[in-house]
């Protein structure tokens, strides 16, 4: 049994998949298998994956039913052999020491799952990693700014993943958030690691860039959270709007959209918006100037 099963759902990822797989080969911890799950790609994604599987038997190429990343990730419920499931998207990369850090964490901690810090990239590094998260992840923190950020930043013990029942395949956007709500609501202990472990590719083409879809997905996650007695506060909503405004800046959204998110967030709860004073000030300043500055200059100044 390998220590890790790395689960990579992919769809038309020919431009990025090779780099993603190379980041696995560069890991300082090499006790792993990789499930590359093609979700009906029409480009050369499958050829790239097959070439890697032909060179290294730890890579297993599989085919999903074409219904999205949640169904692809759920295949790990039956197919993964590793003790720990580590998710990785086909356009992200891992820092070389990621699996080594995870191995040490799961040996030392009794937690069910963990996540680290994330570096943003548009093909090059664009700023410092996300801030550290201290302690155990709560529903409030998850639904405010989701410090996990991306499933490429999440690892979970196999038995805990099996107990969760997997992702809801009926949700298009933010299905990972709804799954995390159920995971934490059912009692799983999820802990942050204070180290940048993932490079997350910022793109205006991915699902994460669809801000309206993200909001709709979060509304479904809030319904699930209500089953565990959670109800969002104005402060949490303001922090989430700050998160959306920052995401809008990173993907180069229209200035008016950024400004609207900033103004609604600040008026909803000033305390919530400025719960992180430095970040709140930067995002609000960017929102106020977003309709005046050119997109490239705005991104260079504020999307960090």
Helix (H, G, I), strand (E, B) or coil at 135: coil
Range list for CATH 3.90.550.10 in the chain: 4-211
What's the pLDDT at 285? 87
Our CA dihedral for 114, 242, 209, 16, rounded to 10 degrees, sits at -40
- Alpha-carbon separation of residue 304 from 126, 153, 241, 282 (angstroms): 7, 18, 16, 9
Cα–Cα distance measured from residue 150 to residue 97, given in angstroms and rounded to the nearest whole number: 18
Q: How far apart are the first and last CA of the chain?
A: 40
Cα–Cα distance measured from residue 180 to residue 168, given in angstroms and rounded to the nearest whole number: 11
What's the pLDDT at 173? 83
Residue 2: CA atoms inside 13 Å, Cβ hemisphere, count?
21
What's the pLDDT at 165? 95
- Alpha-carbon separation of residue 203 from 139, 200, 279 (angstroms): 27, 9, 21
What's the pLDDT at 207? 47
Q: Name every residue whose Cβ is closer than 8 Å to that of residue 182 and which is 6 or more positions away in sequence.
A: 164, 165, 224
β strands within 11-46, DSSP E: 32-38
Burial class (CB within 10 angstroms; exposed 0-12, middle 13-18, buried 19+) of 194: exposed
Structure confidence by residue, pLDDT tens digits, 99-133: 999 999 999 999 999 999 998 876 665 556 777 88
- Residue in this structure with the two tokens 């480009």, named with its chain if needed: 43
What's the pLDDT at 302? 55
Helix (H, G, I), strand (E, B) or coil at 148: coil
- How would you classify the pairing of strands 4-10 and 84-87? parallel
CATH superfamily, domain 4-211, is Spore Coat Polysaccharide Biosynthesis Protein SpsA; Chain A (3.90.550.10)
| Paired tokens of 34 | 């990789």
What's the pLDDT at 203? 65
Cα–Cα distance measured from residue 249 to residue 279, given in angstroms and rounded to the nearest whole number: 13
Residues of the chain with pLDDT under 50: 207
What's the pLDDT at 283? 86
Structure confidence by residue, pLDDT tens digits, 275-296: 888 888 988 888 888 777 666 6
């Amino acid at each position: 049994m390998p220590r890790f099963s790395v689960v990579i759902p992919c769809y038309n990822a020919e431009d990025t998949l090779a780099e993603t797989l190379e980041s696995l080969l560069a890991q300082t911890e090499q006790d792993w298998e990789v499930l590359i799950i093609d979700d009906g790609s029409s480009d050369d994604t499958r050829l790239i994956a097959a070439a890697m599987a032909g060179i290294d038997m730890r890579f297993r190429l599989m085919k999903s039913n074409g219904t999205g990343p949640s169904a692809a990730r759920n295949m790990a419920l039956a197919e993964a052999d590793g003790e720990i499931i580590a998710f990785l998207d086909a356009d992200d990369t891992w820092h070389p020491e990621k699996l080594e850090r995870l191995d040490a964490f799961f040996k030392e901690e009794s937690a069910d799952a963990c996540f680290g810090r994330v570096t943003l990239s548009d093909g090059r590094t664009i700023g410092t990693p996300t801030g550290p998260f201290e302690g155990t992840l709560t529903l409030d923190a998850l639904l405010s700014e989701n410090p996990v950020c991306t499933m490429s930043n999440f690892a979970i013990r196999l038995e805990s993943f099996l107990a969760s029942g997997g992702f809801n395949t009926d949700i298009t956007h933010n299905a990972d958030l709804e799954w995390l709500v159920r995971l934490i609501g059912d009692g799983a202990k999820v802990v942050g690691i204070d180290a940048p472990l993932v490079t997350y590719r910022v793109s205006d083409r991915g699902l994460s860039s669809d801000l309206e879809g993200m909001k709709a997905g979060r509304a479904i996650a809030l319904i699930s959270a209500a089953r565990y007695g959670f109800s969002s506060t104005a402060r949490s909503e303001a922090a989430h709007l700050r998160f959306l405004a920052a995401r809008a800046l990173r993907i180069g959204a229209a200035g008016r959209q950024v400004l609207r998110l900033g103004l609604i967030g600040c008026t909803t709860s000033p305390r919530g918006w400025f719960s992180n004073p430095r970040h709140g000030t930067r995002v609000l300043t960017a929102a106020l100037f977003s309709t005046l500055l050119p997109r490239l200059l705005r991104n260079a100044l504020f999307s960090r």
